[in-house]
């Protein structure tokens, strides 16, 4: 099951326009319910402290049968963190997150680092317009589908760097170290329609900037 989560950041129209299938789980993280309304997508669940949700909209969702899970404002997790954990606990095997960046810088940074949540093992992608952010943990691998010339940046996220092997990129790596705090992995380029990235150690953010949408499929 795929989960689509709408967070309360700035929504940028993505190349992969959200199209919820009946079997998908759609979660609005608090104010992200406004994005659902704008896209004419009815969420299955509204979760959060609801401090950024329009009360009338939240009431209308609930009246329409949307499951509302409300937390107190004084909590230790952001609404997006709650939504991610809920999606995983409900059985999602893939999570796509929209509206997770923009607005407050601290929230954007926090949302990006949620990909490294120690209890999040479900493959999760943050989608912001043409940009898609993935995270690789030690032993993980990622296959990217795209078009020649698109930018792929590899960014180590913790001290000690990341030991990376990549193919299909203009500057391939073969069990090479990308040092934390340096920019060697920024602005690599897809040579063809596919690239593969393998991580032996460290944490690695992979940012894929598309130039045009994929023609096939929803992912």
The C-alpha atoms of residue 86 and residue 162 are separated, in whole angstroms, by 29
Question: 129, 151, 173 — which closes off a domain?
Answer: 129
Residue 181, judged by CB atoms within 10 A of its CB (0-12, 13-18, 19+), counts as exposed
pLDDT score of 44 = 96
Instruction: With cut-offs at 50, 70 and 90, classify the pLDDT of residue 7.
Output: very high
pLDDT score of 9 = 86
- The answer to the question of residue 215 being in a domain is no
Count other C-beta atoms under 10 Å from residue 154's C-beta.
Answer: 23
pLDDT score of 214 = 62
Contact 67, 45 (CB under 8 A): yes
Mean pLDDT of the chain: 91
61 & 108 share domain: yes
**Residues 96-155: pLDDT tens digits?**
999 888 778 898 888 888 999 999 999 999 998 899 999 999 999 999 999 999 999 999
Question: 129, 164, 187 — which closes off a domain?
Answer: 129
Residue 6, judged by CB atoms within 10 A of its CB (0-12, 13-18, 19+), counts as buried
- The answer to the question of residue 74 being in a domain is yes
pLDDT score of 36 = 93
10 & 111 share domain: yes
Residue 43 main-chain phi, psi, to 5 deg: -70, 155
pLDDT score of 219 = 42
pLDDT score of 129 = 87
Stretch 166-193: mean pLDDT, rounded? 95
Stretch 185-206: mean pLDDT, rounded? 96
Per-residue HEC secondary structure of the chain comes to: CEEEEECCCCCCCCCCCCCCCCCCEEEEEHHHHHHHHHHCCCCCEEEECCCCCCHHHHHHHHHCCCEEEECCCCCCCCHHHHHHHHHHHCCCCEEEEECCCCCCHHHHHHHHHHHHCCCCCCCEEEEECCEEEEEECCCCEEEEECCCCCEEEEEECCCCCEEEEEECECCCEEEEEECCCCCCCCCEEECCCEEEEEEEECCEEEEEECCCCCCCCCC
- The answer to the question of residue 218 being in a domain is no
Q: Which pair of structure tokens corresponds to residue 21? A: 């299938």
Residue 55 C-alpha from the chain's centroid = 27
User: What total number of domains does the chain contain?
Assistant: 2
**Residues 87-99: pLDDT tens digits?**
999 999 999 999 8
Query: In the chain, pLDDT over 90 holds for what percent of residues?
Result: 75
Stretch 179-189: mean pLDDT, rounded? 95
Q: What is the CATH number of the domain that holds 63?
A: 3.40.50.10240
pLDDT score of 166 = 97
105 & 192 share domain: no
Domain that holds residue 152: 135-209
102 & 173 share domain: no
98 & 144 share domain: no
In the block, which residue shows the tokens 């959060």? Answer: 48
Question: 112, 129, 146 — which closes off a domain?
Answer: 129
pLDDT score of 211 = 87
**Residues 54-79: pLDDT tens digits?**
899 999 999 999 999 999 988 889 99
55 & 144 share domain: no
Instruction: With cut-offs at 50, 70 and 90, classify the pLDDT of residue 215.
Output: low
160 & 58 share domain: no
- The answer to the question of residue 214 being in a domain is no
- The answer to the question of residue 217 being in a domain is no
- The answer to the question of residue 216 being in a domain is no
């Amino acid at each position: 099951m795929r989960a689509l989560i709408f967070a309360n950041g700035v929504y940028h129209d993505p190349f992969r326009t959200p199209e919820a299938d009946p079997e998908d789980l759609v979660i609005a993280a608090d104010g992200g319910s406004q994005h659902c309304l704008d896209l004419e997508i009815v969420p299955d669940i509204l979760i959060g402290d609801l401090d950024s949700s329009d009360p009338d909209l939240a009431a209308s969702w609930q009246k329409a049968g949307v499951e509302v899970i409300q937390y107190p404002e004084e909590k230790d997790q952001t609404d997006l963190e709650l939504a991610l954990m809920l999606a995983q606990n409900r059985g999602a095997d893939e999570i796509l997150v929209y509206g997770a960046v923009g607005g407050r810088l601290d929230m954007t940074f926090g949302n990006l680092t949620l990909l490294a949540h120690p209890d999040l093992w479900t493959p999760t992608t943050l989608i912001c317009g043409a940009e898609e952010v993935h995270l690789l943990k030690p032993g993980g691998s990622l296959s990217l589908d795209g078009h020649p010339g698109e930018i792929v940046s590899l960014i180590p996220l913790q001290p000690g760097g990341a030991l990376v092997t990549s193919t299909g990129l203009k500057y391939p790596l073969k069990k090479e170290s990308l040092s934390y705090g340096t920019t060697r992995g920024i602005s690599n380029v897809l040579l063809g329609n596919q690239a593969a990235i393998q991580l032996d150690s460290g944490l690695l953010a992979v940012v894929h900037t598309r130039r045009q949408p994929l023609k096939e499929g929803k992912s």
